């Protein structure tokens, strides 16, 4: 039997990552910052030491008024580029994630995606942390760096107990996003891993999902990637007659006759819901990766990274250079 730590790190992951161009991971051409390319053009965003103002050479917008008031001499504060990436992952571990009819459960894929993101983005000095939405509560894992920290994170997540049906009442995905934006203000990479099942079907721009506003707020300061984990049974139902179904979030149990009409209505509602998720993420300007329990999620993630690189290269070729 695999240990919790090894369960979070699929051996196939290392084999697949070995064939990836890690320069894509290190740079992601605009998805990362500092040594990984800045989020915004300019000398940097982290404040350095204050020094005397040089008339005609320094930008008055960099004036440090606190130091100027204390010394009675005008001072400016230099800005330095961020040299380390600080990435935070919001992992949804609600009851709906403990489901899967494919080769694995959504929870297992989410944990694997968490490991992949941190392995791909980690360089010397980079730190990664995580927020978990578990049993209606928001739990935090402090930012650390190194392989040992990654193994500890994976073991912690894999050992988290499953949520009992009806035990997810409390904080929702939107609350977790708000908490992440409020507590982690340093610019960096933010990854949201969830099934987004709390999105009502047919959500429009006039009625955004509960998570859309905090996600849009998060993108104003950070680079954000959304990873949606789905199972094929959430999109379509088999023709098996009368079945007993349980809502993992509320715990309610109901017998349902899977007639052709019911299956058709379910399929249409599921399609509308996934379309609403896609539209909401598009309005937020967030890159969207879909991982399925019946597919090789490592291959899908590798394709996503390569496509991000190609898109960034195309943008870079058409972006004029700014003289310093």
Distance CA 60, CA 42 (A): 15
| pLDDT exceeds 50 at position 29 | no
- Token pair 């939405």 in the structure block, residue: 133
Structural domain that includes position 191: 4-32+85-317
- Least reliable range by pLDDT among 22-31, 42-51, 137-146, 292-301: 22-31
| 197 and 69 inside one domain | no
Is the pLDDT at 313 greater than 80? The verdict is: no
Residue 161 carries which DSSP code? P
Find all residues with CB under 8 Å of 70, minimum gap 6, and list them.
Answer: none
> Same structural domain for residues 19 and 122?
yes
Residues 266, 176, single domain; the answer is: yes
Q: How many CB atoms lie within 10 A of CB 22?
A: 12
Using CB atoms within 10 A of its CB, is residue 84 exposed (0-12), middle (13-18) or buried (19+)?
Answer: middle
pLDDT in tens, 269-304: 999 999 999 999 999 999 999 999 998 888 888 888
Using one digit for the tens of pLDDT, what is the confidence trace for 68-96?
999 999 998 876 555 567 889 999 998 88
State percent of the chain over pLDDT 70.
76
Q: Does residue 21 belong to any structural domain of this protein?
A: yes
Residues 97, 115 share a domain:
yes
Task: Answer yes or no: do 121 and 20 share one domain.
Answer: yes
CA–CA distance, 231 with 109 (Å, rounded to integer): 11
* 164 and 244 both lie in a single domain: yes
Same domain, 114 and 224: yes
Q: Which of 2-6, 9-13, 165-169, 239-243 has the highest mean pLDDT?
A: 239-243
Average pLDDT (1-28) is 43
- Asked whether residue 12 falls in the same domain as residue 160, the answer is yes
Q: Give the per-residue pLDDT at 158.
A: 80
Residue 38 lies in a domain: no
Structural domains in the chain (count): 2
| 76 and 89 belong to one structural domain | no
Give DSSP secondary structure letters for 64-99: -HHHHHHHSS-EEEEEE---S-EEEEEEE-SGGGS-
**Beta-sheet pairing, 86-92 with 75-80:** unpaired
pLDDT at 22 over 60: no
Do 54 and 186 share a domain, yes or no?
no
Distance CA(153)–CA(144), nearest Å, equals 10
- Residues 198-244 pLDDT 10s: 887 765 555 788 899 999 999 998 989 999 999 999 999 988 888 88
Residue 125 sits in the same domain as residue 196? yes
Is 220 part of a structural domain of the chain?
A: yes
Token pair, residue 25, equals 């991971």
Greater pLDDT, 240 or 27: 240
Q: For residue range 152-208, list pLDDT tens digits in order.
A: 888 888 888 887 776 667 889 999 999 999 999 888 889 999 999 888 776 555 578
Own/partner pairs, 265-273, CB within 8 angstroms, 24+ separation: 266/236, 266/237, 267/235, 267/236, 267/237, 269/201, 270/201, 270/234, 270/235, 270/236, 271/235, 272/201, 272/202, 273/197, 273/199, 273/200, 273/201
Q: What is this structure's pTM?
A: 0.73
Are 262 and 190 in contact by the 8 Å Cβ rule? The answer is: no
Q: What is the pLDDT of residue 79?
A: 63
Amino acid 286: pLDDT: 93
Q: Answer yes or no: do 74 and 128 share one domain.
A: no
Which of these, 165, 178, 254, lies nearest to 216 by C-alpha position? 178
CATH number of the domain enclosing 144: 3.40.50.410
Per-residue model confidence (pLDDT) at position 106:
92
């Amino acid at each position: 039997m695999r240990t919790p730590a090894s369960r979070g790190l699929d051996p196939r992951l290392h084999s697949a990552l070995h064939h990836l161009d890690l320069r894509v991971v290190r740079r992601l051409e605009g998805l990362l910052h500092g040594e990984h390319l800045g989020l915004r053009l300019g000398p940097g965003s982290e404040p350095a030491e204050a020094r005397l103002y040089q008339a005609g050479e320094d930008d008055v917008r960099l004036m440090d008024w606190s130091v100027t008031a204390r010394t009675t001499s005008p001072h400016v504060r230099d800005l330095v580029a961020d040299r380390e990436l600080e990435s935070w992952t919001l992992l949804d571990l609600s009851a709906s994630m403990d489901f899967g009819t494919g080769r694995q459960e959504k929870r297992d894929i989410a944990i694997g995606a968490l490991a992949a993101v941190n392995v791909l983005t980690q360089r010397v000095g980079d730190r990664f942390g995580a927020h978990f939405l578990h049993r209606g509560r928001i739990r935090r894992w402090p930012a650390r760096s190194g392989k040992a920290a990654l193994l500890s994170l994976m073991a912690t997540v894999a050992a988290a107990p499953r949520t009992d049906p009806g035990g997810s009442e409390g904080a929702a995905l939107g609350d977790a996003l708000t908490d992440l934006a409020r507590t982690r203000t340093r610019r960096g990479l933010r990854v949201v891993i969830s099934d987004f099942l709390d999105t009502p079907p047919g959500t429009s721009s006039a009625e955004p999902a509960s998570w859309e506003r905090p996600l849009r707020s998060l993108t104003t300061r950070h680079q954000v990637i959304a990873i949606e984990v789905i199972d094929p049974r959430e999109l379509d139902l088999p023709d098996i007659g009368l079945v007993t179904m349980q809502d993992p979030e509320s715990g309610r149990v109901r017998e349902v006759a899977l007639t052709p009409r019911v299956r058709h209505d379910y399929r249409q509602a599921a399609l509308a819901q996934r379309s609403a998720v896609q539209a909401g993420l598009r309005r937020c300007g967030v890159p969207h990766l879909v991982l399925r329990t019946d597919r090789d999620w490592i291959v899908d993630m590798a394709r996503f990274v390569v496509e991000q690189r190609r898109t960034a290269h195309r943008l870079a070729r058409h972006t004029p250079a700014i003289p310093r």
